Chain A
């Protein structure tokens, strides 16, 4: 390698190093600017809600707010449970057993995110072809287990993380 080439190499190394280190810095600065738009610490801390369910009659449901979204809590009658369990999995666009959507031993309680999985509208209760919910925005029909049966929605309505604190209280989140 000639002396001239060596000089060029050292110069190239210096420039490459400067650019690389500079680019790392720019990246490190961009991250806080992006992350600031994520839910802040106060939002994250509000992630659980406790709900008193003692006053819900069989066959009726209530809607509560959790993380800015509606949660449907329905106390199902035994007929409704039977109807949900009689459905063949093959008939479902998003096959899921009703048993997998409720807590064992608390089969009457359906707790789900009341948000249509199509584009986020809130479905209407006791409407639609399957005795469950019907989304007025684009016509998705859900059954009494909140599973999609007909319409453009791709999946069943989501079941949030929840637990029974005692027989009258559930904690969502």
Chain B
């Protein structure tokens, strides 16, 4: 009796959920990519992370900040895992403002691994003003901050096309199939061969978009690999303990059940 009621409940709920597509017709679903970091045991592709960092550094970083990351993160386990020397060299290639010194003056010095990623603009207002009134969002947690996550970011990167007839665009506005509202102020910055990958991978637009998206997914969730690893262990442990406790429960209750 309760079972049939629950069935009814589930059915009516499914019916409700099926109404959903009615409403989101205008938005194009992002492309589904089979990322290596998906799934219960997903991990990042180190080579893709290192290439993705290169794309970020050479292309994105001129407008987008990543203020919550530090150069040291690039060498930490679960990330691009550059060697200690490489991390130091990467950090040192940036001029970081520091100070005040003993004279009270600010000064610049080569970056250290403990420094945060250098931002291209001093503040949001400067970034907005320099980019035609549209703030290039900080990319530290961008993948978590967008519905659709990595798929959405990747889709937008490869989703530029000519506007359909009837759609007019202002100067500095571009048409993108996957962007919410289809209008984007970021120009299509990726073209084949734009960066020269250190590992010799051919830098097609698709490759670069995938690599930089992988990098951003890691930047947003640097704990992902540890989280997946720990999660598998925790679940196995809990299942084991659940079985033990279940058997103990049966034993204890057998004293009562036999009396009834």
Contacts and interface: CB of A to CB of B under 8 A. Distances in A.
Interface in B107-131: 112-114
A41 B245 CA distance: 38
A17 B114 contact: no
Interface string B231-250: 00000011011001101100
A18 B244 contact: yes
B26 to A, nearest CB: 43
A17 B70 contact: no
B210 interface: no
Contact of B70 (A25, A42, A48): A42
Interface residues of A, number: 14
A17 B251 contact: no
Contacts of A14: 244, 247-248, 251
Contacts, number: 31
Interface in A5-38: 11, 14-15, 17-18, 21-22, 25, 28
A21 B248 CA distance: 13
Contacts of B248: 14-15, 18
A21 B242 CA distance: 10
A117 B112 CA distance: 32
A45 interface: yes
By secondary structure, the B interface counts as helix
The number of chain B residues touching the other chain, given as a range, is 10 to 19
A11 B237 CA distance: 21
A46 interface: yes
Contact of A22 (B76, B112, B241, B251): B241
A46 B114 contact: yes
Contact of A11 (B238, B240, B251): B251
8 A-B pairs with the lowest CB-CB distances in the bound complex, closest first: A45-B114, A18-B244, A18-B248, A21-B241, A45-B72, A14-B248, A46-B114, A11-B251
29 contacts: A11-B251, A14-B244, A14-B247, A14-B248, A14-B251, A15-B248, A17-B244, A18-B244, A18-B245, A18-B248, A21-B237, A21-B240, A21-B241, A21-B244, A22-B241, A22-B245, A25-B237, A25-B238, A25-B241, A28-B237, A41-B72, A42-B70, A42-B114, A45-B70, A45-B72, A45-B113, A45-B114, A46-B114, A48-B112
